[in-house]
Amino acid sequence: MTFARNAAMALVVLLLLVAGAWSSWNTAQHVLLPKGREHGTLTVTGCTEETCSGRYVPEDPASRLRALTIEHSVAAEKGETLPVVVKPGTQEAVRTGWGGGLHAWLPLGGALLLAAPLIGGGMRLPRTAWSVAGAGAAVLLGAFFAL
Protein backbone atom coordinates (compact mmCIF):
# COMPACT_ATOMS: atom_id res chain seq x y z
CA MET A 1 0.00 0.00 0.00
CA THR A 2 2.88 2.37 0.76
CA PHE A 3 4.33 1.89 -2.70
CA ALA A 4 0.97 2.63 -4.35
CA ARG A 5 0.55 5.82 -2.31
CA ASN A 6 4.07 7.00 -3.14
CA ALA A 7 3.59 6.19 -6.82
CA ALA A 8 0.28 8.10 -6.94
CA MET A 9 1.78 11.12 -5.18
CA ALA A 10 4.82 11.04 -7.45
CA LEU A 11 2.55 11.06 -10.52
CA VAL A 12 0.55 14.02 -9.20
CA VAL A 13 3.75 15.92 -8.35
CA LEU A 14 5.15 15.16 -11.79
CA LEU A 15 1.92 16.35 -13.42
CA LEU A 16 2.03 19.62 -11.44
CA LEU A 17 5.65 20.30 -12.31
CA VAL A 18 5.26 19.45 -15.99
CA ALA A 19 2.17 21.68 -16.22
CA GLY A 20 4.04 24.54 -14.51
CA ALA A 21 7.06 24.20 -16.78
CA TRP A 22 4.88 23.91 -19.89
CA SER A 23 2.95 27.02 -18.94
CA SER A 24 6.14 28.96 -18.19
CA TRP A 25 7.96 27.95 -21.36
CA ASN A 26 5.58 29.90 -23.64
CA THR A 27 7.04 33.17 -22.34
CA ALA A 28 10.38 32.02 -20.93
CA GLN A 29 11.68 30.80 -24.29
CA HIS A 30 11.77 34.37 -25.59
CA VAL A 31 13.72 35.58 -22.55
CA LEU A 32 16.13 32.61 -22.32
CA LEU A 33 16.76 32.16 -26.05
CA PRO A 34 16.81 35.73 -27.38
CA LYS A 35 19.17 35.17 -30.33
CA GLY A 36 17.51 35.88 -33.65
CA ARG A 37 14.71 37.84 -31.99
CA GLU A 38 14.14 41.56 -32.21
CA HIS A 39 15.37 43.53 -29.15
CA GLY A 40 14.58 47.05 -28.09
CA THR A 41 12.84 49.22 -25.52
CA LEU A 42 9.16 49.80 -24.90
CA THR A 43 7.92 53.07 -23.41
CA VAL A 44 4.54 52.45 -21.79
CA THR A 45 1.90 54.95 -22.95
CA GLY A 46 -1.32 53.39 -21.64
CA CYS A 47 -2.76 50.36 -19.90
CA THR A 48 -5.94 48.32 -19.78
CA GLU A 49 -6.75 45.70 -17.16
CA GLU A 50 -4.76 42.98 -18.94
CA THR A 51 -2.19 44.66 -21.19
CA CYS A 52 -0.16 47.81 -21.54
CA SER A 53 0.80 49.31 -24.87
CA GLY A 54 3.51 51.67 -25.87
CA ARG A 55 6.03 52.89 -28.39
CA TYR A 56 8.70 50.35 -29.32
CA VAL A 57 12.19 51.52 -30.29
CA PRO A 58 14.31 48.67 -31.75
CA GLU A 59 18.05 48.32 -31.11
CA ASP A 60 18.60 47.59 -34.80
CA PRO A 61 18.32 50.85 -36.76
CA ALA A 62 17.06 48.92 -39.80
CA SER A 63 13.90 47.85 -37.93
CA ARG A 64 10.85 50.06 -37.84
CA LEU A 65 9.28 51.89 -34.91
CA ARG A 66 5.85 50.59 -33.95
CA ALA A 67 3.41 50.10 -31.11
CA LEU A 68 3.54 46.89 -29.06
CA THR A 69 1.69 45.41 -26.10
CA ILE A 70 3.00 43.78 -22.94
CA GLU A 71 1.33 42.05 -19.98
CA HIS A 72 -0.01 44.61 -17.52
CA SER A 73 1.58 42.90 -14.51
CA VAL A 74 5.04 43.31 -16.05
CA ALA A 75 4.73 46.98 -16.95
CA ALA A 76 4.93 49.08 -13.81
CA GLU A 77 3.44 52.43 -14.80
CA LYS A 78 2.79 54.86 -17.61
CA GLY A 79 5.96 56.47 -18.94
CA GLU A 80 8.34 53.70 -17.84
CA THR A 81 10.85 52.39 -20.38
CA LEU A 82 11.38 48.61 -20.36
CA PRO A 83 13.94 46.43 -22.20
CA VAL A 84 11.96 43.90 -24.26
CA VAL A 85 12.15 41.11 -26.82
CA VAL A 86 9.43 40.89 -29.47
CA LYS A 87 7.64 37.56 -29.85
CA PRO A 88 8.15 36.53 -33.50
CA GLY A 89 5.14 37.10 -35.72
CA THR A 90 3.20 39.12 -33.12
CA GLN A 91 2.86 42.64 -31.79
CA GLU A 92 3.56 41.40 -28.26
CA ALA A 93 6.69 42.06 -26.23
CA VAL A 94 8.28 40.16 -23.34
CA ARG A 95 10.35 41.93 -20.71
CA THR A 96 13.99 40.84 -20.60
CA GLY A 97 16.55 40.75 -17.81
CA TRP A 98 16.17 39.23 -14.35
CA GLY A 99 12.69 40.64 -13.83
CA GLY A 100 11.36 39.31 -17.11
CA GLY A 101 13.02 35.94 -16.66
CA LEU A 102 11.65 35.43 -13.17
CA HIS A 103 8.21 36.66 -14.24
CA ALA A 104 8.20 34.12 -17.06
CA TRP A 105 8.85 31.28 -14.59
CA LEU A 106 6.07 32.27 -12.15
CA PRO A 107 3.81 29.33 -13.13
CA LEU A 108 6.64 26.90 -12.37
CA GLY A 109 7.28 28.62 -9.03
CA GLY A 110 3.61 28.21 -8.13
CA ALA A 111 3.70 24.57 -9.18
CA LEU A 112 6.72 23.99 -6.95
CA LEU A 113 4.86 25.48 -3.99
CA LEU A 114 1.80 23.33 -4.74
CA ALA A 115 3.90 20.20 -5.04
CA ALA A 116 5.76 20.71 -1.75
CA PRO A 117 2.91 19.57 0.58
CA LEU A 118 2.36 16.49 -1.60
CA ILE A 119 6.02 15.61 -1.37
CA GLY A 120 6.21 16.25 2.36
CA GLY A 121 2.90 14.77 3.45
CA GLY A 122 2.02 12.27 0.76
CA MET A 123 5.45 10.88 0.02
CA ARG A 124 6.87 11.54 3.49
CA LEU A 125 9.98 13.32 2.24
CA PRO A 126 10.07 16.46 4.41
CA ARG A 127 13.57 17.66 3.49
CA THR A 128 12.83 17.40 -0.19
CA ALA A 129 9.52 19.17 0.34
CA TRP A 130 11.20 22.07 2.13
CA SER A 131 13.74 22.34 -0.69
CA VAL A 132 11.03 22.36 -3.35
CA ALA A 133 9.00 24.92 -1.40
CA GLY A 134 12.09 27.08 -0.97
CA ALA A 135 12.80 27.00 -4.70
CA GLY A 136 9.21 27.95 -5.50
CA ALA A 137 9.19 30.75 -2.95
CA ALA A 138 12.53 32.03 -4.27
CA VAL A 139 11.10 32.32 -7.79
CA LEU A 140 7.96 34.12 -6.58
CA LEU A 141 9.79 36.50 -4.26
CA GLY A 142 12.54 37.10 -6.81
CA ALA A 143 9.98 38.10 -9.43
CA PHE A 144 8.19 40.33 -6.94
CA PHE A 145 11.34 42.23 -5.99
CA ALA A 146 12.88 42.27 -9.49
CA LEU A 147 9.82 43.88 -11.03
pLDDT in tens, 10-49: 999 999 999 999 999 998 999 988 888 899 999 999 888 8
Q: How far is CA 49 from CA 29, 92, 104, in A?
A: 25, 16, 19
Average pLDDT over residues 107-118: 97
- Looking at the predicted structure, is the pLDDT value of residue 73 above 90? no
Phi, psi of 67 (to 5 degrees): -95, 140
Domains of the chain as residue ranges with CATH: 1-34+98-147 (no CATH), 37-95 (2.40.50)
**pLDDT at residue 72, as a whole number:** 76
Is-contact 38 68, C-beta < 8 A?
no
